[in-house]
Amino acid sequence: MIQAGIIGASGYTGGELIRLLSLHPYVQLETITSRSLAGTAAPEVYGSLRGVCDLEFTSSSVRETAAACDVIFLALPHGVASREITESVLQDTVVIDLGADFRLHDPEIYQQWYRTDHGSPHLLPQAVYGLPELHRAQIASAQLIANPGCYTTASILSLAPLFSRKLIHPASVIIDAKSGVSGAGRTAKTGLMFCECDENFKAYGVASHRHTPEIEQELSLAYGESVQLTFTPHLVPMNRGILTTSYAKPTGGASMEEVRSWYEEFYRDAPFVRILPEGVFPETRWVKGSNYCDIGIAQDSRTRRLIVVAAIDNLVKGASGQAVENMNIRFGLEETVGLTQGTVFPA
């Protein structure tokens, strides 16, 4: 059994991790931590965990948890993990960080977008970006795995095949993204209150969202040179789910049959990416509660623009489910173990 711990387990991603790891056939969940909830049983915070996990939250440190576990998951605000993870911690345990601290390769770009210094830039070369569809081989031997952001997962997966074949002009790419409210976390904020979100739809982080450099980093690697694109997120009055619609100008005369064939080939060994039939486009309800990413592809016959639509559950494939997927790969398990539950419909 894999001994696992979760640092910062009281938020939405932490709660989802508790659920997934408690039901995983090869995992023993040893520790869940929260300084504010120490001594409180998990079902008192998440009633849905009653009978699933009865552990109490503790105030154990990263150092203490690492010494007792084979893998630890970090669900912490940005700026915290980079000051807690050390070479000594990585010698004791595998670290899967669901925060932003180890996603960006360049500490200066991290500082620019997150407005804080990186606490351990010397560890960045060790960090593997935990998107299995692109970096499965590196994940298999990594001690430090940077779990991708939710918007970035949907955006990168929907566009990587086009960038890898240079089938589009990078500067033409526009990503229009929508997220459910749980993507903003569980902290009480006026803008996330029911009366503020219900019957409302708004853009935020316009031309400044922190997932932008993460998307550009990974798509630049796929393209083979540095790229820039436009990314605009929106808040939608639903609990969970992400839908991205991306637009791009093609470089040549590849037919839609050829584009679709390349997508299917690119994700042939990706168990959680579903390329939908021609004329069918993703809906968030089709992936709710699952680790799937659904992708639909079309071309506007008038403008010739390619249009790619992707949907994920922001708390599963966009966070906790992908973290478990990374754990499975790292410990030599089938990638899908503990993640094969389907969606709940209607939901």
What is the three-class DSSP state of 52?
Answer: coil
Distance CA 144, CA 131 (A): 13
- The per-residue b/e assignment along 206-238, b for 16 or more CB within 10 angstroms, e otherwise, is eeebbbbbbbbbbbbbbbeeebebebbbebbeb
Beta strands in the chain (DSSP E): 2-7, 27-33, 57-58, 71-74, 94-97, 128-129, 144-146, 174-179, 202-203, 230-235, 242-248, 273-275, 293-299, 306-312
Distance CA 169, CA 162 (A): 9
Sheet holding 27-33, edge to edge: 57-58, 27-33, 2-7, 71-74, 94-97, 144-146, 128-129
Reported as type and span, the H/E element at residue 164 is helix 150-164
- Residues 6+ positions from 297 with CB-CB distance below 8 Å: 256, 259, 260, 263, 275, 306, 307, 308, 309
What is the three-class DSSP state of 258?
Answer: helix
How far does CA 255 lie from the centroid of its chain? 31
Catalytic residue among 150, 195, 197, 293: 150
The DSSP result for 199-236, as a single string, is T--EE-STTT-TTHHHHHHHHHHHHTS----EEEEEE-
Q: Is 69 a catalytic residue?
A: no
Cite the active site residues. 150
